Amino acid sequence: MAQKFFPDSKQLKERGPLFLPVLTTMPAVAIGIAVMIGNEISSYIWMQNLFFFLVFALLSFFQRWLKPGEKNSVFYIFVPLLLLIVTFWAPDMNGVHRWISLGSFRVNAALAIIPLAILILWKLRQRSRRITGILTVIICVLLLLQPDASQLTAFAVPMLIIFWAGTENKAARILMAGFFFIIILLSWVNLDSLPPVSYVEGIVGLTGSLGWLWWAAGVLSLVLLPLPFLLFPPRHLRLLSRCLGVYYSVMLLSTLAGNFPVPLMGYGVSTFIGYFIAIIWYTRELQNARITDFPRQKRYVTQSES
């Protein structure tokens, strides 16, 4: 009976860092909510962020039951593609097509599904580099037409790294780099004219209204978001993990150059969906690495004791 409630070391290895999704996201979410309350933003706004955080945190604890089928997982790429295409049929905002309306919620499709697209394209690249390249170009063009310079840049940079690492052909590398450079440049030339919303794109500025300590804490909480992917990647998927870290790093940097949503700290369900997809994948791969390492560690200990 004791083993049922008190797991042994092997069971602890298999469970892995289940609290990691909560630990990495809680500072940004908590500071964002506190700043909204301190600036008298409607409770309807910040309570939604609290609700989204609690829902996705709960899902992260049950991630072992959220495993998609491995055999047809590459076909999931059509989910991001369809969602990006649907934005052009949804109501626009001053000519900008980024959102899908779900009742009273407006979901930014790119923020929600680009991390998933990077994960799927990585896996698809192992089967067909040509199809992966075509799908990558389509996604880039869709983001250019929305337009969304932040998401296009954040998607294009890690995809360039993935393609660059996957080929030694110099001509192919130059061609890919040229395409990504041109399409990124076009996206920043064609910036939208939407005004910033204080509790979405301007949330970092709001932290300054509460004092420089709040501002510093807010910036540090955002810096924390890509760090697990960059500094502690799963041993067997280092490049992919770091590409996800690059995605979030570029997204954060783009908020300095334009009016773009600040992930998790600002209002909106979209960044919660995207980040929890990425961090749950990351946590699961850490678990897989630990489970793989455990038998070797056990044999080592046994040989040492003998």
Res 77: pLDDT: 80
Angle between the N-to-C axes of helices 43-61 and 270-305, in degrees from 0 to 180, rounded to the nearest 10:
30
Res 241: pLDDT: 94
**Tens-digit pLDDT profile for residues 132-187:** 999 999 999 999 999 999 999 999 999 999 999 988 888 989 999 999 999 999 99
- Enter the pTM of the model: 0.87
107 phi/psi in degrees, rounded to 5: -100, 125
User: How does residue 41 score in pLDDT terms, banded at 50, 70 and 90?
Assistant: very high
**Tens-digit pLDDT profile for residues 114-137:** 999 999 999 888 888 889 999 999
99 phi/psi in degrees, rounded to 5: -115, 150
The structure tokens 């770091």 sit at 242
Handedness of CA 36, 41, 45, 51 (dihedral sign): positive
- Specify which residues 108 forms β-bridges with: 99
Find out whether 268 and 200 touch, Cβ atoms under 8 Å.
yes
Evaluate if residue 19 carries a pLDDT over 90.
no
3-class DSSP assignment, residue 105: strand
Share of the chain above pLDDT 90, in %: 60
**Tens-digit pLDDT profile for residues 271-300:** 999 999 999 889 888 877 665 554 444 443
The structure tokens 């804490």 sit at 217
Res 17: pLDDT: 60
